[in-house]
Structure 1
Amino acid sequence: MSTSHDTETAGALLVRPKFGGAALVCGECQKRSNGPSKLKAKEVRKLLKKELHNLPVRLRIVQCSCLGLCPRKALAVSAVADGQVLAAELRSEDEARAAAAAFARAFS
């Protein structure tokens, strides 16, 4: 049962972030035996950060643990903003750039 004290405490803990969404890059995909052979999560994170810096909504680009998508020979990436959730399976840097462009179109 909730009391007004619980609401006041929860309200004191919540803050408004400076970003409007997040792009999540799975760090576990590259470690799997059937993961991508040449694509690294850190490189994809840097590429997304570079490609998505001019969006009207500021995205926080982070490397995370398993997203549960687990594509074969690929890296899982997801973006969340403006009430939308998008995901992609990346096998190359070209696909990472294409995913960044798709995220930009969706969140513009």
Structure 2
Amino acid sequence: MTKNKQHRLGTEPTWQSLVIVCRACAKRSKGPKGFTAKSFAGEARRTSKDVRPRPRIILSTCLGLCPKKAQAVAVVGAGGGLRIAAMQSLDDAANVPDMLRHAAAPAGPAPDERGAGQIARP
């Protein structure tokens, strides 16, 4: 006999960032050569194993970016930042941890002309 599991609305996920890999890019005739979306997702998982908290890596339908000879990847960080990239080889999966760090960083104030990082007061 199985228990009925109650799904609670509004529960917190165990992950705080997403890596979305377009599944349709690899199927296009002008898509990337030499790898599939699934193999890219696996390589991205392997390269981001040291990123804490671990990101959720998912395959999606078409993201609508459609880069020529590349794989579309979108990264949504814990800070709400969004990064989009066109990956041309499996070696580009090594860039996913950097994309996660940049997307997770909260957007701060714009630096002034001197580059000191402070807002100029009138």
The verdict on a shared fold, with TM-score over 0.5 as the criterion, is yes
Gaps of 5+ in 1: 1-11
2:89 to 80, 88, 92: 92
Partner in structure 1 of residue 10 of structure 2: 14
Q: Which runs of 4+ in 1 moved over 3 A?
A: none
TM-score by length of 1: 0.79
Structure 2 Cα separation of the partners of residues 23 and 103 of structure 1: 9
Which of the two has greater strand per residue? Answer: 1
Larger radius of gyration: 2
SS at match of 1:35: coil
TM-score by length of 2: 0.71
After the TM superposition, which residues 1-108 of structure 1 pair with which residues of structure 2 at under 5 Å, given as runs? 13-81=9-77, 82-97=79-94, 99-106=95-102, 107=104
Quote the sequence identity (%). 33
Count of aligned pairs: 96
SS at match of 2:74: strand
Quick check: 2:47–2:93 contact (8 Å CA) kept in 1?
Answer: no
SS at match of 1:13: coil
Q: Which amino acid aligns with 1:96?
A: A
Following TM superposition, by how much is the alpha carbon of 1:51 offset from its aligned partner in structure 2, in angstroms? 1.1
Q: Which amino acid aligns with 1:89?
A: A
